[in-house]
Structure 1
């Protein structure tokens, strides 16, 4: 140490030693409040600050927690571990983006919430409605990877629906690009993506409050050209 001329200190969990039972609980509860905006079933979840430790590795793609391998809160069998990771869990590296290293005390609440969400996903794959505004980042990923129901928010709809009802004049839409959902007489590429990936779509999240929680949604029936004029539309 005789050659050291300066000493630098980190603040969090170095000079300032926080109490995880309170500090990490606040971080957990703040995250839960944000998630509650899209999933009210998390309302009664609680955080056990003694459960997680540093040195764990989260397998984000498979929902596993590695050291002694767990899937959520369920310990994986030897056969499951070998089938997924081979005969040993000792690796040179567990790299992003598929893995997250729990190497700071700040990560304990995140790891615990990760385990809870994995269990929740396994038990309720088709009972979650995820609401977002991005076709790929929010809707496609939630539907294909997690198996959730999806709702796409399209703010432009309010103006377009107003024009459709009041004016019935396509010249009043965007002067260059026309209607958002149409390319001439055909659906636009964006409309095709909405139909393909979003279970529901709306102009704003608050529109959900206009309907009963018991409302049943179903897609409109598709008609082929030979059916028009024969079947009731």
Structure 2
């Protein structure tokens, strides 16, 4: 099929390398089977890119991917500094080791008991830690299986962004430390102090001012991002930025990522038709906050100037989806929004509106790498699971058979049928032997499954296993990605490997009775 592209007016410059541009535009689009799994865009719900007119992007953890360990250490250092200086925590907590592997996305903090747990898609609590100690099955059942967990209550906090991982890692470490030293601590207040301190570091610009001074130390330079955005524009798509970050920080990060990367785009602003900072998502999708224009020179809001239309080359603050659709003239399923926050970018948008959604899950790179490396072990685990199910079925049958023989033997004794009873008892003895053998085989397989599951889990994360799985089920986070993100991938530049007119098709899903 012939591909047609429109070259934007901003690209029609004599200095532009037209030969190179033509080669890039007319180059063959890779087929999905040729795209490595780590670079693929995965589809939960069919989406036709040829029907998408407007594509929006969040910035943090979407267009801009952070060097996560470095950013987490900075967040922890600043949080501890404020906890010690402003909330009376002892200096000793600064010297503790805060292991980044203690937290992944999709965990839930129980502020009342000082626990952190992971749930599957049915909201079943799979594993729980108090500090760094994993709770036993009996403790888990006692705390979380006798009543429904209502996650909307203030007692629980959902760790659903990469920005929130330091909170969970610090909470586990400090709970463990204070318990070990015998210091009385209010677990609820401890978490509140951690959250307030890290929020303060964001709010007073302490964190972002450090990042702005050395953006390259904290932000990944994706060499394919500019080419990806250019390819989408060349296919006639309009692009916009919608981020909660304010303009000064957005300008610093986006300048680092895009300025000077292509001749046709002198500034990062040239890639986008609309720029919205300080968007206050998810309020942007629910309330009618007015748009305000931003002074590009100062980064400050221009007071007293009502915004009645969105102009290319300008930047805005606040706003709402209703006015945005009115001013752009594009509505509903003609808009694709790409973000990283399962709640603020994806879930709230999807529940209230019909924009299409794509989620950037930065951890997907590492998860796929582990899955590929453990491919044979994962296949072995699946085979052992099938054998376990078959053995359970055989044991159930043999147990029912033995019960029937036992009842028949009692009836023979009551009726005085000694010869028949002798034959029934021989069959009972044989059935018991068979049942013992089946149970022994099952114990061996269960031990093998448990050991293999533990080994596989530790390869993903030594405490929590895979982000998208909990036991045999999708994790709650994984299920939300499946339910609310039409597409998901590890980075925006993965769209470069697909036609801008691509028809993304979701795989056929089977119910258990269809397998």
The TM-score normalised by the length of structure 1 is: 0.50
The TM-score normalised by the length of structure 2 is: 0.24
The structure whose residues are more often helix, as a share, is: 2
Bigger relative contact order (CA 8 A; separation at least 6) = 2
